Structure 1
Amino acid sequence: MSAEREQRGDGAKVSTPQPAQPEEAAGATIPELVIISGMSGAGRSTAAKCLEDLGWFVVDNLPPELIPTMVELGARSQGNVARIAVVVDVRGRNFFDNLKGSLADLAAFNVARRIVFLEASDEALVRRFESVRRPHPLQGDGRIVDGIAAERDLLRELRGDADLVIDTSSLNVHELRAKLDAQFAGEEEPELRATVMSFGYKYGLPVDADLVVDCRFLPNPHWVPELRPYTGTSEEVSNYVFNQPGAKEFLDRYTELLQLIAAGYRREGKRYVTVAVGCTGGKHRSVAMSEKLARRLSDGGVETVIVHRDMGRE
């Protein structure tokens, strides 16, 4: 911990502790830093969510003078927080005077940092604010265009210091995410995370399902007395289900379809998908099919979680 000597009124010397720099922490790894800023309505929230999906630790509306502290905490995380993204916007306009000092401190810490500035034309920003029926945060008693003009003036210097400026006037959400993916995803393709959920139709469709698969075309093990007490996780039930005509073919072809859909989801910036697999009660056929389907997706490079929503119901 560094210390600064100060002179008291009585002539005595006192020590004032100063925050430790990241490189002073034993074994510290200085995290990479991205500062996201720009015009309100230009897509800062989308940019933050995109980086979060890419594995960045995202902090929204952090006062600029706290950025070095955030980097220090990341450095002390033993590599658990290797990439930090901070959103700085006009909600923290009283803190912008401290931004230059914070950036100077970061340079002293040898932090690899980038500033991403998002902007859009006045026409595009007015249209976006009017579509959500919300005022611009700086318009006060004036018009939306007055708030936009005030914000441009406030952020002019920061825009000049930006490492990456993206004009989102003609971009949709997916196109903006694609641009950010190209900048920050690295060599690896962004991951798709899938939840495969078995369910029973008699208990209702899962409200968060993106895709729904119906296994009720297969014979129901419920009507086989020796299989009724078991679930689709058991070998006995699974063998029964996949020995039925069409079961293996359905699994093969639906897996191929999901691989095609997954590639499209990645291109469109979708990172999470829930596949709901249903049968009558959610205990036998849907569970067995979900287990196999999840294993296929996992083997294909998709991070997969299995949830059996209704398996424990009577």
Structure 2
Amino acid sequence: MNEHETAHDRDAAHDRDGAQVSTGTTVEPGGAAEAAIPELVIISGMSGAGRSTAAKCLEDLGWFVVDNLPPALIPTMVELGARSQGNVARIAVVVDVRGRQFFDALRESLSDLESRGVTRRIVFLESSDDALVRRFESVRRPHPLQGDGRIVDGIAAERDLLRELRGDADLVIDTSSLNVHELRAKMDAQFAGDEEPELRATVMSFGYKYGLPVDADLVVDCRFIPNPHWVPELRPFTGLNPEVSGYVFSQPGAKEFLDRYTELLQLIATGYRREGKRYVTIAVGCTGGKHRSVAMSEKLAARLASEGVETVVVHRDMGRE
């Protein structure tokens, strides 16, 4: 999705897909000890109004997110979370309503959760008819409820089915004029608490002669530093070797570059968090990806980690000849 779009178009394309689970946590249903009942958020609302964007925001905040889960299985998910020994403390479930029977199953599950004393919040995403029509037309997909009719017919049918659920919602967000960043900011304000959104960085060394990494957000060029390749006693080693690293950072401008670029990344990281970006890949390049870029990547990653950024280092071309 283009980050400047004002419509959450990917929901329209996603509404006909099957159930998906997107999480970095594994549920262990066989835990011996019972943990506290997990916190539960149910995300629903109009198709094309931004449900997937809202779910992705919660996932980035550490929630276990289940997309398109049948409503009858929501109590089961909560039970599994309670048996996970604290591994699944917060669950977000995305549900859509495609018919009266589906809606009745959701109401039944909510009643079941209430009888068990489970605290749940309902987030309802809505948008104007004009905005929804524009979003569906932009992705050239039919509305899931339009049948043989027009997009507006499907929107009207869905809005009628969701009327009662909207009335029960704890948080209603109108996304008619919101872009992706503004919706994420609203979700962060509700669910991030006082904690600053976490930023995760991948620092990747690479060799220019093998091509730029296609997933790089930022590219750093270390070819201004003299190449250890031309020092016979250093040539067989990599930038992980202390002697190679010492040689690199003894060269004019190397330490200054590291200091200045670290300061720049601090500024960029603040903007990324503000704009809702949670992941960044920093590609650090030299000619072959073996000496200078490796040494610089290690130092840069250490600096980022010291600033509280969760950092992973990858040396893409270090093993190549």
Structure 1 gap segments, 5+ residues each: 1-21
In the alignment, is residue 44 of structure 1 matched against residue 51 of structure 2? Answer: yes
Deviations 1:229-251 (A, max 9, x none): 11101110111000100001100
After superposing on structure 2, the runs of 4+ consecutive aligned residues of structure 1 that deviate more than 4 Å are none
2:96 equivalent in structure 1: 89
1:201 equivalent in structure 2: 208
2:195 equivalent in structure 1: 188
In the TM superposition, 1:239-254 aligns within 5 A as: 239-254=246-261
**Greater displacement, 279-288 / 100-109:** 100-109
Q: Identify which of 228, 231, 236 aligns with 2:243.
A: 236
1:18 equivalent in structure 2: none
**Alignment coverage as a number of residue pairs:** 291
2:262 equivalent in structure 1: 255
2:42 equivalent in structure 1: 35
Alpha-carbon shift at residue 92 of structure 1 (Å):
7.0
1:273 equivalent in structure 2: 280
Tell me the secondary structure at the aligned position of residue 90 of structure 1.
coil
Q: Is the 8 A contact 1:38 1:117 kept in 2?
A: yes
Give me the whole-angstrom Cα distance separating, in 2, the residues matched to 1:285 and 1:151: 58
Alpha-carbon shift at residue 186 of structure 1 (Å):
1.8
Deviations 1:48-75 (A, max 9, x none): 1111111000111111111111000000
Letter in 2 for 1:53: D
Q: Identify which of 104, 119, 122 aligns with 1:115.
A: 122
In the alignment, is residue 72 of structure 1 matched against residue 79 of structure 2? Answer: yes
Give me the whole-angstrom Cα distance separating, in 2, the residues matched to 1:94 and 1:253: 60
Alpha-carbon shift at residue 95 of structure 1 (Å):
2.1
Give me the whole-angstrom Cα distance separating, in 1, the residues matched to 2:205 and 2:311: 13
Structure 2 gap segments, 5+ residues each: 1-28
Letter in 2 for 1:249: E
Letter in 1 for 2:315: H
Alpha-carbon shift at residue 219 of structure 1 (Å):
0.2
